[in-house]
């Protein structure tokens, strides 16, 4: 059957519409601004200039630790409902610690919160019929960190769900192929690192927005916990949208779903 002859059910079209609303809506910065009642740019001005050079390394390190500590060791059965509330509680706790100790705690707090978030993302993938033992699913989970919705830096980076997926496609293919053929060995680490570095380029934007919110005076530990909860809630939304799209792609084909997504 050709794409022209295909028909999408009303239920699936509604689900795809929900996915697009999640993936393309205003992102973390808007949520934090609504919470603190002032533009997040004031928080950005509070961040010390010297930390920016370190952020990239901390982000890549956090993603690598999360991948090795969660996604590459996690094996689950597809179809089990995700435990979103449990993961929000855990990430709020780590955010409270980060908010209390401030920016110096980032290198300790971020790997912990990133691992919790990746577990939650994997949980959501499983709910939408993915097998976390599948290498392709593992990388699809990591991809979620590159999806940010509309954010304060969208003028400077590629935006749009399918645009970001296309920019990552080659790295995903290379890394997946290597692991399928040879497993996750030290020799394969540079290929995985290349993929994670590309993810980190966009994930660091979300981290900057999170830190900017926490840097605003009087936020403290309670505010840090709340912002970390928003941080996870944001990526749970991205994961839900992403895995709805992937589920419908398996049913109808990638090009057909992309066309319908763009038409919505």
Q: What pLDDT is attached to residue 76?
A: 58
pLDDT profile of the chain (264 residues), mean per 10: 70 97 86 78 74 81 82 58 51 45 66 85 91 89 86 54 93 85 66 89 88 70 73 90 97 96 94
- Dig out the tokens for 106 from the structure: 């980032």
Q: Which pLDDT score is estimated for 162? A: 95
- What string of DSSP letters covers the chain? --TTT----HHHHHHHHHHHHHHHSB-HHHHHHHHHTS-THHHHHHS-GGGHHHHHHHHHHHHHHHIIIIITT----TTPPP-HHHHHHHHHHHHHHHHHH-GGGHHHHHHHHHHHHHHHHHHHHHHTT--TTSHHHHHHHHHGGG---B-TTTTTS--SHHHHHHHHHHHHHHHHHHHHHH-S-TTTHHHHHHHHHHHHHHHHHHHHHHHHHHHSTT-HHHHHHHHHHHHHHHHHHHHHHHHHHHHHHHHH-HHHHHHHHHH-
What's the predicted TM-score (pTM) here?
A: 0.83
- Residue 99 has a pLDDT of 45
> Can you give the pLDDT at residue 145?
93
* pLDDT of 87: 44
Tell me, what's the pLDDT at 77? 54
Query: CA 206, CA 54: separation in Å to the nearest integer?
Result: 15
């Amino acid at each position: 059957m050709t794409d022209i002859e295909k028909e999408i059910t009303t239920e699936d079209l509604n689900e795809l519409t929900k996915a697009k609303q999640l993936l393309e809506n205003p992102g973390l910065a808007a949520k934090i601004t609504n919470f603190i009642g002032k533009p997040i740019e004031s928080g950005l001005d509070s961040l010390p200039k010297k930390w920016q050079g370190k952020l990239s390394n901390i982000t890549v390190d956090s993603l690598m630790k999360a991948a090795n500590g969660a996604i590459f060791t996690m094996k689950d059965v597809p179809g089990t409902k995700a435990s979103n509330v449990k993961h929000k509680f855990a990430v709020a706790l780590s955010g409270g610690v980060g908010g209390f100790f401030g920016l110096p705690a980032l290198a300790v707090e971020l790997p912990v919160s990133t691992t919790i978030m990746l577990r939650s993302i994997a949980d959501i993938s499983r709910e939408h019929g993915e097998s976390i033992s599948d290498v392709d699913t593992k990388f699809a989970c990591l991809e979620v960190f590159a999806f940010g919705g509309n954010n304060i830096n969208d003028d400077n980076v590629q935006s749009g769900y399918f645009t970001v997926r296309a920019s990552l496609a080659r790295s995903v293919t290379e890394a997946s192929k290597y692991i399928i053929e040879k497993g996750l060995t030290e020799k394969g680490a540079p290929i995985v690192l290349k993929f994670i570095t590309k993810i980190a380029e966009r994930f660091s934007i979300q981290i900057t927005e999170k830190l900017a919110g926490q840097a605003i005076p009087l936020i403290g530990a309670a505010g840090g916990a709340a912002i970390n909860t928003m941080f996870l809630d944001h990526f749970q939304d991205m994961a839900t949208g992403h895995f709805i799209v992937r589920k419908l792609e398996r049913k109808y084909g990638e090009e057909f779903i992309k066309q319908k997504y763009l038409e919505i």
